[in-house]
Amino acid sequence: MPFEIPFVQIVWWAMTACAIGGAIGVVSSNNLFHSALFLVLSLFGVAGYYVLLSAGFLAVVQLMVYIGAIVILVLFAIMFSRRMMKPTEDEMNRQWLVSVIVAAALFSWLIVVVNSVSWPVTSAAPTADTVLQLGLAFLGSYLIPFLVVGVLLSAALIGAIFLAREKVEAEEI
């Protein structure tokens, strides 16, 4: 298969263009609605990364939870407040230049660290039937974290409903 390796790299570059380009769009767009749509692009690129890393289940979860739920929630919150829909004066605050410097310094520092460590890479293939292994792990040795996440999600759901509902005035009760 002489064409296999270049093809995977081409897909990788396409997904990188989606992920990084979408991320830059998220932080640079003056319209919040466009930012949320760029976020969909970026999350889609990351889902493609999961497919390339042979984590197909995570890719599906990424599409369903992130794009299907979180971004929809963000879009609803933006549409809910009409003034956020139209592009306002300037979405950046006064410290945006400092933020650029901080982000660039962080990035260069991370690159230096990443390239100075020799990671213990193996060329082994992942376990066959990863989804089965995930299910067994979640109901076996990772049962407690699984339950804690469930409790956290319920608490977050109840808290979000409590925070976002219309307040009933005391005299009306």
Interface residues for other proteins in 115-144 (CB under 8 A)?
115, 119-127, 130, 133-134, 137-138, 142
Residue 18 touching other proteins (CB under 8 A): no
Q: How far is CA 87 from the centre of its chain?
A: 24
C-alpha span between 71 and 77 (Å, rounded): 10
Write b or e for each residue in 74-100: b if 16 or more Cβ atoms lie within 10 A of its Cβ, otherwise e.
bbeebeeeeeeeeeeeeeeeeeeeeee
- Binding residue count for other proteins, defined by CB under 8 A: 89
- Which residues in 31-60 contact other proteins (CB under 8 A)? 32, 35-36, 39, 42-43, 46, 49-50, 52-55, 57-58
Closer Cβ to other proteins, 156 or 171, answer by number: 156
Binder of other proteins out of 20, 79, 85, 147 (CB under 8 A): 20
Q: Output the smallest distance, CB 75 to other proteins, in A.
A: 10
Q: Output the smallest distance, CB 44 to other proteins, in A.
A: 11
Q: What angle, rounded to 10 degrees, do the helices at 71-80 and 32-52 form?
A: 180
Binder of other proteins out of 77, 85, 143, 147 (CB under 8 A): 77
**C-alpha distance from residue 37 to each of 73, 90, 94, 107, 166 (Å):** 12, 19, 25, 25, 28
Q: Output the smallest distance, CB 116 to other proteins, in A.
A: 11
- Return the number of other C-beta atoms located less than 10 Å from residue 27's C-beta: 14
Binder of other proteins out of 100, 139, 143, 147 (CB under 8 A): 100
